[in-house]
Structure 1
Amino acid sequence: MRPEVAVCVPAYQAELYLAGTLRSVLAQSFRDFELVVVDNASTDRTAEILREFDHPRLRVVRNDRVLPLAENWNKAVAATRAPLVKLVCADDLLHPRCLEKQYAVLAGDPGIALVCSRRTMINEESRPLSRNRGLRGLTGRHASQDVVRKIVRHGGNPLGEPGGALFRRADFDAVGGFDSRWRFPMDLDLWVRLLQRGDFYGLADSLAAFRISRGSISAALEDTGFVEQRSLTGEMAAAPHWRVRRRDRLVGAAKAPGARLRRQALFLAARAQGRRAGAETNGCENSPYRGM
């Protein structure tokens, strides 16, 4: 029988946190889901860790070669069977009621194309750095045009990373999936294209945890991400069907440097905390959602 929801996890060299990510998915209160992991030809213990998870919901696909990011993420979604899909990076975590609450939104209203929740930022030891981030002014139901205008005015990504989103597989296929033109705002680009298919719903609860690791810190400090973000925002603002006002563009341009600095400050705070020597928690023991 086809499940109602699919959670797909693209995994590459994911040995440190993969087990914790999978446990957070398998601990969901909503049970009608499948879990698909695509091992992107990892050479660390990723495959070994996956073999340790003998679970009927879990299906593993292994690539023969390392695929580029967008291609691998698209392959992960393509491997799913359910009508609703969530992509979770292999070092992030889900709140136990994440699927339950997000499924209720999409299943109850066919006019909604994308549901996102607030999220918690965690460090390498899975300790919270900042709770309930994102979706300022975007909780509840919003017309897609209004959401895109708010994105332009925000100057960054107010909707958040993939782990906090749930979308329809049919819409994902219709808009062409993740676009390899982008490296950093690849998720935001998809969210905006999905909003061409329906409205947006924002959940005030923090239902996902995004991990700030050493690799993500380095990425956050690069100029490339800022340049890509501004380029994508410019494309959104120029698209006539979104009807973005000139004032929105000016506000977004003024806010963008501040949004970047705030994000960098959070990532640098994670670096300052450091990583516990010899830690092998796999992102589970210190989970911000443990016991909930």
Structure 2
Amino acid sequence: MRPGGFQPSVSICIPVYNGEAFLAETIRSVLEQTFRDFELVILENASSDRSDEIARSFPDPRIRVERNRETLSQPDNWNRAVQLCRAPLVKLLCADDLLHPRCLELQVPPMRDDPSLALVASRRHMIDEQSRVIVPRRGLGGGLVGTHSGSEVARRVIRNGANPIGEPGNVLFRIEQFVTAGGWRSDRRFIMDLDCWMRLLQYGEFLGLPETLAAFRIQRGSVSAENEQAIYDEQRALIEELGSSGAFDVRSLDVTVGRVAAPLGRARRKALFSVSQFAARRDEKETADRAG
């Protein structure tokens, strides 16, 4: 609870480590929300850059900045960021991603009014290092717009071979169910988001909104770009786990299709990173040309 006994409707938490390049832009995208009843928790992971200074430079009273004494692993830092939240609804936003101004306005009411929902997600843009849209309106393919049971979502995730739900920035969840489900798993570091979404969907239904309400930034040298094989291996392991766990009504045909689709999902990810790298090299060339 906040001082005075006031509790916000929703918490947005930003775990940040050496994120000075984009952190201010990310924070501004939160503060520009049309839905105003939120708190913003920024967990600074003992960075060596100006991340802490930037986080504390915003005077908005809804912002609370916490700092780790030592650098935690990404899963531990993400879990602590959620643990610091005070609201029943939570969104984790990576320190280089962005929210559309109406994101909370459109995502909070369905979750607040319908206790049967475990997740609300939207589409998101893929953006480059200059915040330019390189792939618009991505996600929720294969019929994930609308309300669906956990089993329906599991079958679509398996058949997709990648992450059709999306990253944390375009997803809203309940903190109580997050804790019960076990939070972010360190043994699924490269698909922590999708792994968590599927465990949360054991506690309720999924709502996919057709609007594009977030932006996921693809950078050169990002964790995803550097660890493609690990992503692929964890994705394949998740497909097998969903197919055999019994938590969802998944057919053997779904798993067979998923095994075939996993390499296609890998190819799509590689294509995204290639587009981002091309844009970055073009920017460098234009900068060099101007300087010369």
Q: Which residue of 2 aligns with 1:130?
A: 135
Q: Which of residues 30, 41, 51 is equivalent to 1:36?
A: 41
What is the identity, as a one-letter code, of the residue corresponding to 1:82? A
- Residue correspondence of structure 1 range 260-275 to structure 2 within 5 A: 260-274=266-280
Indicate conservation of the 8 Å contact 1:220/1:264, yes or no. no
- Aligned partners of 1:206, 1:13: CA distance in 2, in Å? 28
Q: What are the Cα deviations for residues 216-235 of structure 1, in whole angstroms up to 9, with x where unaligned? A: 27636631110111111111
Relative to structure 1, is the Cα distance of residues 69 and 221 closer, same or farther in structure 2, using a 3 angstrom cutoff? Answer: closer
1:66 maps to 2:71:
yes
Q: Is residue 161–residue 259 contact of structure 2 (8 Å, CA) maintained in 1?
A: yes
Taking structure 2 as the reference length, the TM-score comes to 0.93
Q: Say whether the 8 Å CA contact 1:219–1:225 is kept in structure 2.
A: no
Structure-2 separation of matches of 1:106 and 1:248: 29
Partner of residue 124, structure 2: 119
2:189 and 2:276 map into 1 onto residues whose CA distance is: 22
Counterpart of 1:260 in 2: which secondary structure? helix
Distance (whole Å) between structure 1 residues aligned to residue 227 and residue 70 of structure 2: 29
Q: 1:106 to 1:220 in 2, by over 3 A?
A: farther
Superimposed CA distance per residue, residues 153-181 of structure 1 (whole angstroms, 9 cap, x where no aligned partner): 11111100000000011111111111111
Map 1:168-187 → 2, pairs under 5 A: 168-187=174-193
| Structure 1 unaligned blocks of 5 or more | 278-292
Structure 2 contact 20–49 (Cα < 8 Å) conserved: yes
What's the % identity of the aligned pairs? 52
Rounded to whole Å, the distance in 1 between the matches of 2:34 and 2:205 is 26
- Runs of 4+ with >3 A deviation: none
* 1:215-265 deviation per Cα after TM superposition (whole angstroms, max 9, x unaligned): 327636631110111111111111113121111011111111111101211
Distance 1:24 1:88, change over 3 A: same
Match of 1:258 among 243, 246, 264: 264
User: Does structure 1 retain, via aligned residues, the 8 Å contact 2:190–2:224?
Assistant: no
Kept in 2, the 8 Å contact 1:117–1:204? The answer is: yes
Is 1:106 aligned with 2:114? no
Deviation readout 1:23-76 (Å, 9 max, x if unpaired):
000000000000000000001011111221111010000000000111100100
1:217·1:267 contact (CA, 8 Å) conserved in 2? no
Residue 68 of structure 2 aligns with an amino acid whose one-letter code is N
Other-structure match for 2:166: 160
CA distance in 1 between partners of 2:219 and 2:53 (Å): 22
8 Å CA contact 1:112–1:200 kept in 2: the answer is yes
User: Which one of the candidate residues 235, 245, 249 is aligned to 1:239?
Assistant: 245
- CA deviations 1:183-220 (Å, max 9, x no partner) are 11111010001001100000111100000011327636
Question: CA 1:129/1:220 → structure 2, altered by over 3 Å: closer, same or farther?
Answer: farther
TM-score in terms of structure 1 length = 0.93
- Asked whether the equivalents of residues 156 and 229 of structure 1 are also in contact (C-alpha less than 8 Å), the reply is yes
- The answer on 1:207 being equivalent to 2:213 is yes
**Secondary structure, counterpart of 1:85 in structure 2:** strand
Shift of 1:114: 0.4
Q: Higher helix share goes to which structure? A: 2
**Cα separation, 2, equivalents of 1:240 and 1:217:** 32
> In the TM superposition, what is the alpha-carbon distance from 1:104 to its structure 2 partner?
1.4
Match of 2:146 in 1: 140
Corresponding residue number in structure 1 for 2:198 = 192
DSSP 3-state at the match of 1:202: strand
Q: Is the 8 A contact 2:129 2:217 kept in 1?
A: yes
* Aligned counterparts of 1:230 and 1:185: Cα–Cα separation in 2: 11
Distance 2:210 2:230 in 1: 31
Q: Is contact 2:202-2:247 (8 Å) kept? A: no
